[in-house]
Structure 1
Amino acid sequence: MYNVVKANMTDLDDIVHVDSEVIGNTSRRNFIKDSIERGHCIIVQEANHIVGFLTYDTNFFDCSFISLIMVSPSKRRKGYAGLLLEYMINHSPTTKVFSSTNCSNVTMQKVFETNGFIQSGKIENLDEGDPEIIFFKSTY
């Protein structure tokens, strides 16, 4: 059984644990804390354990921009990223939702495409030799 909800401060340590499983450290703890405090962090739970999360803001040309989608490595390929994206689309404070991933991250590109996002441009020079692809989906 899964549950997708907005995170609260009591979830912080568990969310940071998932993030550190993926990136190998807890350097984004303050960023995640700020996202929770603003109400811009969504979690997906399996059997009351957080297995993934999503953070976003609304500073991208007054549109929602998903900055992080993280799923515990042991829980990947089970649809949790899709559940987070679906919740975001259904509860977005704006009618347009954007996100991005590197050209080299083919897996994340497939997640976006599977969930109805379309490519909406490319940004060069963020990561040397690995352009960022922008994805878009309308909430209506």
Structure 2
Amino acid sequence: MKLQEMAQLNNLEELVNIDEEVIAHNSRREYIKKAIEDERCIVAYNIKNQIVGFLLFDTHFFDCSFISLIIVRPTERRKGYATALIDYFINISPTRKIFSSTNKSNKSMQEVFKVNGFIESGFIENLDEGDPEIIYYRSR
């Protein structure tokens, strides 16, 4: 289907540009750079070999894998890239348990998690005023 691989530092500018398309600023540049350096960033390519999205993860969530960010270029959404990134990560996850989260208001990301076999595992209040964070879980 689509190609996914670990990001390289020469991908940084393109990933920051994609992130900026989504959140309208580049405040996560250093966060993305550190994830690339630590080999915790996966990129997805389209058939034209262009990067269309990325996934960041870590293992600091109670010693379990945590997908901290999935970003897909807005023009490339609903084409299976988020699922491809998640599938790739599940296959390389250093832990059996995998968690992630999204805001209660983010219905599209909730659907991505459900379609990919994640179940709700709890809520965190007070991160974003009036918009609780839903924690999702699945095992490898």
Partner of 1:31: 31
The corresponding residue for 1:12 is 12
1:138 aligns with 2:131: no
Is there any run of 5+ residues in structure 1 with no aligned partner, and where? none
Q: Percent same amino acid among aligned pairs? A: 58
> How far 1:26 sits from its partner (Å)?
1.1
Shift, 1:42, TM fit: 0.3
TM-score (norm 2): 0.97
The root-mean-square deviation of aligned C-alpha atoms, in Å, is 0.8
The aligned residue for residue 21 of structure 1 is 21
What is the TM-score with the length of structure 1 in the denominator? Answer: 0.97
What letter corresponds to residue 28 of structure 2 in structure 1?
R
Size of the aligned set, in residue pairs, is 139
| 3-state SS of 2:102 partner | strand
Q: CA deviation at 1:48?
A: 1.3
Distance in 2 of aligned mates of 1:73 and 1:27: 18
Q: After superposition, what is the alpha-carbon deviation per residue over 1:10-62, rounded to whole angstroms, capped at 9, x for unaligned?
A: 11111111101101111111000000000000000112110000001100000
- Where structure 2 has 5 or more consecutive residues not aligned to the other structure, the ranges are none
Paired residue secondary structure (2:129): coil
Aligned residue number for residue 89 of structure 1 = 90
